[in-house]
Amino acid sequence: MKKSMLFLVCALLGSSFAATGAVTDVHAQSITKGSYAEVTEQEAPVYDQNGNKTSIAMQKDSQWQVASTQKIAGNDYFQIAPNEFLSTKDSFGYKKRQMTIKVQSADDSEDTVRVYDHNLKQRTDVSLANGSKWYSDSAIYTSDGMPFVRVATDEYVAMFDVSQQQFKANL
């Protein structure tokens, strides 16, 4: 009986010590909160909820927080304000995702890492050295959800070519 009582007391004390330990849990969703759109055309018309052009136009490279993505008259639009929409034909969507990455080509026969533009087309004028480190502030996604992270203006690296990533979080 004494052994059982001693065991019970030890178990209760042990669980109370374990419960008092502070644990901070950071989820990946916290670093990708919010969606944005960047205008790719010189002047992108703003549309209303019925798909009609308004008298407003957004300038190239301007960035807008997106409330939702909607299909209007068969086309996809980013809602940037009440009853104001940007066409996905004039802009692209991204999420903020700040981190430092190290790149390494997934194809072992290549000495460099491929770089893509915001349309996910491979660029032939630039590549990155294997093993180099880069700061990235945002990510774009394929229709299947594969992320590409930005390393420079209109230069993205596929996540399958990222060998390390380091996030900074303010808690």
What gap in Å lies between CA 167 and CA 171, rounded to an integer?
12
Indicate whether 82 pLDDT > 70: yes
Residue 104, pLDDT score: 93
- Asked if 34 contacts 65 with a C-beta cutoff of 8 angstroms, the reply is yes
pTM, rounded to two decimals? 0.68
Contacts of 99 (CB under 8 A, 6+ apart): 31, 135, 136, 149, 165, 166, 167, 168
- % of the chain with per-residue pLDDT over 90: 68
Give the residue-averaged pLDDT of 11-37. 51
Residues 125/150/162/158 CA torsion (nearest 10 deg): -70
pLDDT single digits (tens) 111-133: 899 999 999 999 999 999 999 99
